[in-house]
Amino acid sequence: MNPRPNLGVSPRFGLGRKMPTKLGQNFLTNEEVAQKIANSANIKGDNVLEIGSGKGILTKYLAKSAGKVLAVEIDRNLIELLKKKFSIKIVEGDILKINLPKLIEGENFQNYKVVANLPYYITSKIIRLLLETKYPPAEMILMVQKEVGERIVALDGKESILSISVKFYAEPEILFSVSRDNFEPVPEVDSVVIRIKRKINLPEAPASKFFALVRAGFSAKRKMLVNNLASSFHIPKSEIAEIIKKVGIDPAIRAEKLKVEDWVKLYGALKNQGSEK
């Protein structure tokens, strides 16, 4: 078996690879893990959106505690199974293709949390959708591939486009690990459960322009920040270096060492200098 991870991330959020199995389904089989995930969400009386309910092992615990559960499931056969087990609203469809704002409005679900065991191959696409949608959840409790979870929180101290993209909107943390033998079929990698809590106040920078700057900074992984920005924006290296210095950042630093706050300061400096593209 190929041990390389399936990061499943979109251009802003990283790299992407093919779906490993039909619909990317790896079903959680451990009841204790399912209950622990539900408990971690602290959902008593809350509205909960579950993405990919599968056979309902997590749904069972969500339905016991939540005020209302809205489940989105793509597999019609599993939907029939879920309908027999639970009295909840189930929507058949691909979360990436349905009109999520319209669904949220129709169910009067504007204040909600997301709890889900996400398919590895579309993890970051779903996270991006939920962070950027018209009605973002206040909090997400997600089971994701271990490597992706560690990249989101930058466990090794190295930020990435993925981690900065999440941290622009929210505060992520790893709650606990889940070994691969808790799934059927058994995946090639272990998982972690993460919490992504929405920030009350977002950075004062237009998302599209902010991420254009971040992408430029990461355009060549092993190069210094000043070189990447000078090359991407076609600005003399000396000019870019002075702008970077003005916000207290070392021009020789690599992009992976910058936090969201650093990128926001850098964006502001470039904008004031008329260098922002």
- Regarding whether 174 and 154 lie in a shared domain, the answer is yes
Q: Is residue 1 part of a domain?
A: no
Rounded mean pLDDT of 239-264?
A: 96
Q: The CATH number of the domain where 215 resides is what?
A: 1.10.8.100
- List the CATH number of the domain containing 107: 3.40.50.150
Q: Are residues 167 and 266 in the same domain?
A: no
| Distance of alpha carbon 274 from alpha carbon 204, whole angstroms | 17
Whether 168 contacts 264, CB under 8 Å: no
Closest CA to 9 of 129, 104, 140: 129
Report the pLDDT value the prediction gives residue 25, as an integer from 0 to 100. 74
Q: Are residues 46 and 121 in the same domain?
A: yes
d(CA 266, CA 260): 10
pLDDT at 193: 98
| Mean of pLDDT values over 64-76 | 96
- Listed residues 145, 172, 198: the one ending a domain: 198
Domain annotation covers residue 12? no
Instruction: Please indicate, yes or no, whether residues 188 and 258 belong to a single structural domain of this protein.
Output: no
Asked if residue 261 is part of any domain, the answer here is: yes
Q: Dump pLDDT digits (tens) for 140-184.
A: 999 999 999 999 999 899 999 999 999 999 999 999 999 999 999
pLDDT of residue 222: 87
- Res. 20: pLDDT tops 50: no
Whether residue 211 lies inside any domain: the answer is yes
Last residue of a domain, one of 179, 198, 217: 198
Residues 216 and 250 in one domain: yes
Identify whether 9 is part of a domain.
Answer: no
Q: Mean pLDDT across the stretch 257-266? A: 97
Specify whether 234 is located in the same domain as 112: no
d(CA 190, CA 29): 14
pLDDT digits (tens, 9 = 90+) for 176-233: 999 999 999 999 999 999 999 999 999 999 999 999 999 999 999 889 999 999 999 9
Judge if 146 and 240 occupy the same domain: no
Would residue 55 count as lying in a domain? Answer: yes
Residue 18 pLDDT > 70 = no
Domain that holds residue 58: 22-198
Lookup result for tokens 């902010």: 210
Q: What whole-number distance in Å separates Cα of residue 100 and Cα of residue 107? A: 11
Identify whether residues 190 and 214 lie together within a single domain: no
Residue 16 lies in a domain: no
Do both 113 and 250 map to the same domain? Answer: no
Alpha-helical segments (H) within the chain: 31-41, 59-65, 76-85, 100-106, 123-132, 146-153, 161-169, 207-217, 225-233, 237-246, 260-273
Domain identity same for 181 and 242: no
In a domain, 4, yes or no: no
Do 211 and 193 fall within a single domain?
Answer: no
CA distance 224 to 270: 17
Domain final residue, candidates 131, 166, 198: 198
Number of domains in the chain: 2
Say yes or no: 148 and 265 in one domain. Answer: no
